[in-house]
Every structure is written in structure tokens, then in C-alpha cells.
Structure 1
């Protein structure tokens, strides 16, 4: 059966490859599958498969206009020696939970899990749809997407990639990873603003019909590597299926036993992928949404009101410093009974007033979710305590999730086996991690801290960090938010 995709705001249905190429629908909505397919292989079979084999079994159900050969080729090119763990996404048991390590790729963050395959899905999609324009990947990042996207698209023929990031809103390692990125087709811009400003500016360019005409006349078309692209979301479903299958394989659970999943959440794509996995038939019970002090999602799950009208807090978990969770629109559409008009009116309210409120019936459909948040002190204490008790070191984002998991157990007394999505290597946030473990590290330099972290954790410094130690800065462009479009045009040599 061919699965088509529709916009959360209405409009014509498209194929998977067309949805991947477009990124954002013409009406400003996000593409969602016309139905969520059920897993068609048993967990027993999946439990004896490699990550690549599980990826094929999941993704074939969503990307139905790809041939088996095309899809397997994309998977094989993505999940190879770029990852420093043979399992691709290994699990570590510590202090009562299973940490699903999603940071073993080229840029040591979970974004690699999807962005390693997106360039291959996109270039395959371009061939399938006879695209002759150069594809310009336009992306806003809160820290990790930018580097992972550039690493994936660097020097990929027929593509260019432009990444906007908040100049003072990412960690030193995150920034150094981006500004040292090689590739003639890569361009990095630090904006004077926060991530929401960057994301809003990018969305504005995507929705600008006049700009689209100018690009077309110059042989270009925009696409997205942000989590709004369905080509990002589908690969993320894979690792939840793989995690469950591995728990069965390792006899940690019996097939059919329900588990909980905890996800540190900013733009809502990663936890949405777990929700899709649950809707495919995977035995997931509660989806635990962990926020940092930018707790717009916690407030939403608590009250049914989404309100971005609040102070933006810069935290030690910058990839979650987000007040507009774009992927939440996909969930809103689902709980609105797939009513595009109802969803559109809520999104227009968000755009005009910065807030909206869902109906009691919609709230009733959110019972799978639990939301809570961790402040900065709680996050640091969790890193300290986990290391002190077990020797296991986690990053700040994962620590937000671990903190919220403890709150969940305290609130509910639910002790089901639980998988925590560990979304970044602690080496990416070494200063925050090491000073949480012991204040004596506060005066060390960034790379001194990285070496000390390696020493206390027994984990070698990842290649992604070692490479930037002496790498030259190749990108130093900065701009104001209202200069983003002109900056894009200038780099593309468009008058």
C-alpha cells in the first residue's frame, strides 16, 4: 500500500519523497502520514536484527515510494563507520533506568540518528521527482541540528546548506563544531537573537512566495533539515523500536511488556517519534516529556494552554531553550481528530497572540503524556549524584530527563522499565557537566575540562571533539534577525 502525506492545515496529498523535498507544506503546515502504519514484523524477529535491519523494517512502512534497493542503500550509507558503536544506539543501565545513547554519530548528538540519512533520502527523492534545481537546505538550530545537518550535507552534489544559530545561545563546543565545518556548500550564520528568532525567520522565508519565485528564477529551491521535515521524523521512530527489541533480546523484559519512555524535549520531534512508535503497536505506556526552565510544554500538558509569552531562559541545556515547539503541531492535529481547520485556527492564534488553548476533548487524548521540568540546580544535582553513585556521566539534556523521571516515579509510583533518551554526549557540554560533578573544575579551560572528563569517565575523547581542538574557524558571518533573508541572497549571489 502506498502511504501518502497530508498537511496539518489541509491541502493536497503528496508522496513521501515529495514531502521530504518540500519540508514544509505550501500552506505552512507540517506533513503527516495519512495513517500511521502498524509494524508488520514481530518483536521476536526485530530482536535478532541489526540496527540497519530494524531501520529498514520501520522506514519501509513510511517511505512507500522508495524501492527496497533505494531505501537499503540510504540506510547502509547512513549507519556505517561514522558511528563509534557497532549497535549504533547502545543502551546503558544506570540507577534504575535504561539510557538509550543516541550520540555515537559524527557530531555526538541524537540529531545524527536522522541527519546521517536525510541527505541520502533527499538526493534520492530529487532523482525520483526529476528535480533539476539545486536544493538549498535552510535550517535554524538551537545547537545540534546545525552541525549534524552540515556534516550530512557537506559536499553532497546538488545541495547547499545554510544554518542560522543564536550567537550567544549555544555551548562553546557546539559553536566551534559549526564554525569549523568544512564543505564548499556550507554556510553558517550567528544571529543576534535566540533560537525562536532564528526558527521564525527561517519559517518566514519558507512561506515567502515572492522569495520562492526569485529562487526558482535562479535555479534554487528551499528544503529543510529541521525536525519539521518528515525525513527527520521517520528515522527517529526507528530507535525506539530498536530499544524495545533490544530489551527483549537481552531478556530485560518479556515481549508485550509495556515500558515508559522519557525524552528531554525542545522542538517536540524526538518525543513525537516515540508517540508514532507507540501508535505503530510498540508496547509503550507513558511518554514522559521533560522540559528545562523554558517549561512551555510542561505548562501545556498541565493546563491545556500553550503560551509562549514569557521570558526566554538561557540554560545549560541549550538545545531545549525553545518556546515555540514546532513539532507539537503534528500532535495537535492528531488530537483534534485530524481536523485541519481546527488545527489551523490554533496555529494562527499562536502566530498572532503567542498562545492557544485546546478543548477538553483534545486534552482527554493526551493521557499518554506526562510533563514535568527540571531547573538548573536540579539538573546539576542529577549529574553529580548519578556520577557519584554509579560512575556514569550524562550531559545536561539527559540530566533534565533523568530528573523528570524521578519526579514521575514520585508522583505516580509507576516503576515500569523505562528508557531515557540520552540525546548528547557529556563531552559536548563539558563545562556544565564537570562543574556539576565538582566545583573545583570551574577554572579549567574548555579542552582541559574535556581531557579531565575523559579521565574520570574512562571514555575516550570523541573524534568529533578531538577534531575541533585545533580546527580553524571557517565561518564568522553574523547578522540581525531582520537581515536573514538578505544574508541568504548574498551567499547565493542573488541580486
Structure 2
């Protein structure tokens, strides 16, 4: 049977359901399974199949202790009418490349792919003979998109509650309103004085606070879990869209079964691109995975030098969801690339915590660089790419996708290897930045900017985003980093 344990030790032996419910290991590590890659997905059977069927094959291989009917129920509820395209993640030909649109879900960001299904997973993880009254409180820090996608997924979900922290003043107006107007009796949202890394580090500290866990369980029947991609149940649904992209390329006869494909991925926390690595382990012919960063290019520096150093200036950019200096999911990749060397991972993560930096062995770096490439774009280059992509292809991209588009255009092109750029958010989540890049009026509210963008490009803003202008703000609390534990306890007491 497939079991999960921490990246930092092999003492745990959890089922997939237990790992999803727990979220993060007691030692601060992330849950992994050594069975990854033992079962493969049949790529010869992909073309022409609906997303839901592909999702079943992939998730069945990754989460084997979910029964077939359980899995089908989760998939049917997660990938239904709430998506604006029946393909869920449609692939569009843009110039010489392909763009995988991951923003067709209810919150217009790629996080929907995982966060529409994670609450369904969570509802099926209640242990037999456990506390019947226990609620899972999802606790998450967001750099912009995870928060709303998690809130939308967990709002009024039975047996759950959710508390979301976001960095005050460091998300777009649309992103903030998406969170602060969220309906649901079991949701709580709070701004934090600091940046995303401050909030994320505090959340990890809260998870590691055993006295707090005992208080929450004893007084409120609440256990904490995560909706960030540190939760394996959040990570694995993202593996599906890599197979979906491949299926669509097969269907269009761009490739034959077994041909390799490159993926260019805008990423800050490394989860989105790690899912591509999992896809490769499951048998997808992935030639390269290209990490695209913004000005906070800590991953670029790591992949070029072997040194990961978070002791560096933090830049607030026009691609806020990538403004991250501590890429949590990199730990999982290091675990697999080092052949499961938990002692090495523990040492590296201790170095990161103590010194703010670590250095991987040369042999490990060489192995990583064989698969992972990298590049980054500054803000002028991001704006230039938004304009360039529109002028050349009549296709509008958001600033995160533009980071990847820039990196893709800088790379040498192999005419025999199709290249897929992952588009992680709707341009209407960042209408002011997009308008500035396109030379359009960007002086009014974000909603006025949406209308200008729609008029100029003939595209249509997602109704859920445009409707935020008149939505009622429910949450306006601001906390210091030190006060986040109190926010969690108060939210638990209110359930």
C-alpha cells in the first residue's frame, strides 16, 4: 500500500487521506511517497478523452486509497458547470507556442484546479472512530490567488472552516476584494502587516505549535490543515493538467504518442512546476521544465548556482503571486532528486532556517539542471511581453503569464519539441497593469480598467470579477505577524 512520510524523516507511515487531512508533517517537512512513479499513466490512451477521465487516471495513481467511486464523486463535483470551458484547461495556439489556460475556474486563477477538489478530498478523510464533532480549519497564507480559490472551495463545506492571511497592500485591488467579500459562515480573512514570506513562515510556525493544537482540539474540537501546495492534496490535482495539455496536442496531431514536450511555468512557490515533475514521474514525456521567475528571482539563482539564499531584497512587483523568497515545494523536488536522502534535506532546511541559505552538492545540482531550466523577467520586460503578445498574436496575457512568455521567447527553439506556456491567471485580475502595458487608460478603478480592456481587445471580463465592484466587504481586520495565532484562536472559538 502507498504510504506517505515527511521529506525530513521516514518515521511517518500515513495513507493519502491521512496526509491530506494533516497537511504538514510534525517535523515541518512535506509529505511525500516513495511509490511515486511505480505506477504509470497510459499516455497512448489520452487523446480525445474528457478532462474528468484523465483526472481519474492520474489521481488514482497518486492517491490509491481513495475508492473509485469516491474519486469519481470528487472529480464530478470539482470539474463541472463552475468552469467556463468544458475542457477545464484549454490549450490555445499562440504564435509558435501553446498556452495552457488554467484560469477558466470560478476565481480566474490556476489555483482553482486544485482548490475545487481539495475540499471534496478533505470531506472524505474523517477517520473511523475519531472525534465526530471535529472540524478541520484550513489555515493558509496567500500571495494573491490561493486565498480566494481556497475560500471559494471551502465556503460552507461540511466539517470545515477556513482562515486566510494575505500581505496588506501587496495584492491587487481585485485579488483583495475577491477575498474580503467572500460569503460563507465558516470563512475568515485577515490582512497581515508584512510580506507573503512573513505570513507563510508564521503559518508554518502555527502548524508546529503543539500547545496550540491541543487547545484547539480540547476547547473547540478544531484541527488545523493547509490549503497551500505544502498539502499533498493540493499539489496532486495540478499534475492532471500536464496530461491534459499532452492529450490536446495528441488530438490535434501536433505530436505522436511518446514525443517530448517542454513546459514553461511561472512559479514562486515551486508547486505549479513540481506538478510537472510528478507528471514526468508518472510517465509523461517531459523534455524540460522551465522555471520562470519575476524580479524576486531566488529560484533562478538557485538553479544557476546551487545556492538557495533568501537573504536578499524583497521586491513588490506587478506579478504579486510570484513575490516569494521561500519556495516551499522545492523541498519535495530536492527529496526526490537526492533519491530520498532525508538527512540531506533536514540539513538543508536547518541551514535555511538558521542562516537563510543552503547549498546543494554539485552532483545533485547537475541532476536537477538536466531537467529544470530557468529564466526571469523584470517589470519592464513583463510589460513589454504583454504588449508584444497582443500586437503579434491578438492574445491578452496577465503579468505572471508574461514572465513565462518572456522566458520562452529568450530560449532557443527546438522545432521538433512543442512548447507549452502555463497561463496562471486571467488578465482581468490585473487590469491596471495590463492596460498600462497596452497603452490603454489605467487611471480609474480596477473595474473601470476592466471595461477599457474589454472595449479595446474584444474580450469579456469574467462575471465574478466584474461583479466585485458592488460586492459587500465582510472582512477588514489587520494583524501583526505576532498576532496571527490570536486570529486563529478567535476564529476557532467562533465556530
With normalisation by structure 2, the TM-score equals 0.97
Taking the TM superposition and a 5 Å limit, the aligned residue runs for 1:63-78 are 63-78=63-78
Secondary structure at the aligned position of 1:255 is classed as coil
Q: Is the contact between residue 44 and residue 245 of structure 1 (CA under 8 Å) also seen in structure 2?
A: no
Q: Where does residue 81 of structure 1 map in the other structure?
A: 81
Q: Where does residue 3 of structure 1 map in the other structure?
A: 2
Q: Where does residue 157 of structure 2 map in the other structure?
A: 156
Secondary structure at the aligned position of 1:394 is classed as coil
Q: In structure 1, which of residues 195, 220, 223 is the aligned counterpart of residue 222 of structure 2?
A: 220
Q: Where does residue 316 of structure 1 map in the other structure?
A: 318
TM-aligned CA distance change 1:217 to 1:291, over 3 Å: same
Q: Is the contact between residue 264 and residue 419 of structure 2 (CA under 8 Å) also seen in structure 1?
A: yes
Secondary structure at the aligned position of 1:342 is classed as helix
> Distance in 2 between the 1:128 and 1:176 partners?
39
Q: Where does residue 45 of structure 1 map in the other structure?
A: 45
1:255-280 deviations in whole A, cap 9, x for unaligned? 11111000001000000000110121
Q: Where does residue 196 of structure 2 map in the other structure?
A: 195
1:186-230 deviations in whole A, cap 9, x for unaligned? 000000100000000100000111111111112110000001000
Deviation at 1:317, TM superposition (A): 0.4
Deviation at 1:414, TM superposition (A): 6.9
Q: Where does residue 443 of structure 1 map in the other structure?
A: 443
Deviation at 1:128, TM superposition (A): 5.9
Q: Is the contact between residue 40 and residue 282 of structure 2 (CA under 8 Å) also seen in structure 1?
A: no
Q: Where does residue 376 of structure 1 map in the other structure?
A: 379
TM-aligned CA distance change 1:402 to 1:76, over 3 Å: same
Q: Which structure 2 segments of 5+ residues have no match? A: none
> Distance in 1 between the 2:58 and 2:142 partners?
27
Q: Where does residue 112 of structure 1 map in the other structure?
A: 112
TM-aligned CA distance change 1:373 to 1:30, over 3 Å: same
1:403-445 deviations in whole A, cap 9, x for unaligned? 0111222xx767621011100000000000111011x413233
> Distance in 1 between the 2:39 and 2:279 partners?
9
Secondary structure at the aligned position of 1:125 is classed as coil
Q: Is the contact between residue 41 and residue 58 of structure 2 (CA under 8 Å) also seen in structure 1?
A: no
Q: Where does residue 36 of structure 1 map in the other structure?
A: 36
> Distance in 2 between the 1:92 and 1:452 partners?
24
> Distance in 2 between the 1:59 and 1:37 partners?
13
1:333 aligns with 2:335: yes
Q: Where does residue 140 of structure 1 map in the other structure?
A: 141
Q: Where does residue 57 of structure 1 map in the other structure?
A: 57
1:264 aligns with 2:266: yes
1:408 aligns with 2:407: no
Q: Where does residue 205 of structure 2 map in the other structure?
A: 204
Q: Where does residue 101 of structure 1 map in the other structure?
A: 101
Q: Is the contact between residue 39 and residue 58 of structure 1 (CA under 8 Å) also seen in structure 2?
A: no
1:351 aligns with 2:350: no
Secondary structure at the aligned position of 1:126 is classed as coil
Q: C-alpha root-mean-square deviation of aligned residues, in Å?
A: 1.4
Q: Is the contact between residue 18 and residue 129 of structure 1 (CA under 8 Å) also seen in structure 2?
A: no
Secondary structure at the aligned position of 1:60 is classed as helix
> Distance in 2 between the 1:129 and 1:447 partners?
50
> Distance in 1 between the 2:297 and 2:415 partners?
23
Q: Is the contact between residue 17 and residue 128 of structure 1 (CA under 8 Å) also seen in structure 2?
A: no
Q: Which moved more, 1:128-137 or 1:232-241?
A: 128-137
